[in-house]
């Protein structure tokens, strides 16, 4: 198992959230972004237990149903399973529209269009209880405490810098090297 999977597997709260998301039986799904990034950086900074995420990004790919209402239904279902958590469910087959890009091929493909390399990483709990790490841009930056824009993020450096500043990542994780 990778270090990322080990960190998530040792976190009872994360595993409970993954079990809830798995119950939805979404196609090509994972929980990504801050769910993974923040836990790994907290672990590498010696912060235990990890801080609660601002949101829990459950992403999936279903080209057959692009409705916002479906996403809201999944959020309601997750809220019934684990009430009061900041669930955000997004179908990646429709996320290209607001970015003015060609339609993504799958969940992993959509993640390469996120702003930072360390955000485009997700984890899925498989039926057999194993954890699958989805990292189309790799995991080196995350594990080596580096944050850099993706190729897409380099076209939006202002947004990249604004996210780092607004989310206070430099303050929360002082060992991280931020590149642009």
The class level of CATH for 3-144 reads alpha beta
Render pLDDT for 73-108 as a digit per residue (tens, 0 to 9). 999 999 999 999 999 999 999 887 767 788 889 999
Looking up tokens 């039926």, which residue turns up? 127
Residue 117: what pLDDT? 96
152 near 114, Cβ under 8 Å?
yes
Domain spans in the chain, listed from the N-terminal domain onward: 3-144
> Over the Cα atoms of the chain, what is R_g?
16
pLDDT in tens, 127-164: 999 999 999 999 999 999 999 999 999 999 999 999 99
Percent of the chain with pLDDT over 70: 99
pLDDT(53) > 70: yes
Of 109, 169, 133, nearest in space to 4 by CA: 133
């Amino acid at each position: 198992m990778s270090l990322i999977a080990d960190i998530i597997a040792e976190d009872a709260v994360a595993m409970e959230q993954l079990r809830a998301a798995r119950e939805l039986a979404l196609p090509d799904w994972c929980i990504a972004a801050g769910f993974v990034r923040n836990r790994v950086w907290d672990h590498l900074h010696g912060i235990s237990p990890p801080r609660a995420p601002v949101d829990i990004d459950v992403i999936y790919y279903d080209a057959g149903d692009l409705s916002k209402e479906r996403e809201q239904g999944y959020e309601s279902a997750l809220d019934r399973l684990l009430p009061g958590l900041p669930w955000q469910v997004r179908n990646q087959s429709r996320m290209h529209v607001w970015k003015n890009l060609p339609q993504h091929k799958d969940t992993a493909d959509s993640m390469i269009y996120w702003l930072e390399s360390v955000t485009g990483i997700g984890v899925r709990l498989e039926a057999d209880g194993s954890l699958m790490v989805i990292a189309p841009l790799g995991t080196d930056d995350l594990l080596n405490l580096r944050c850099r824009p993706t190729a897409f993020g380099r076209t939006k450096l202002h947004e990249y810098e604004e996210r780092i500043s607004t989310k206070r990542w430099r303050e929360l994780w002082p060992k991280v090297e931020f590149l642009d």
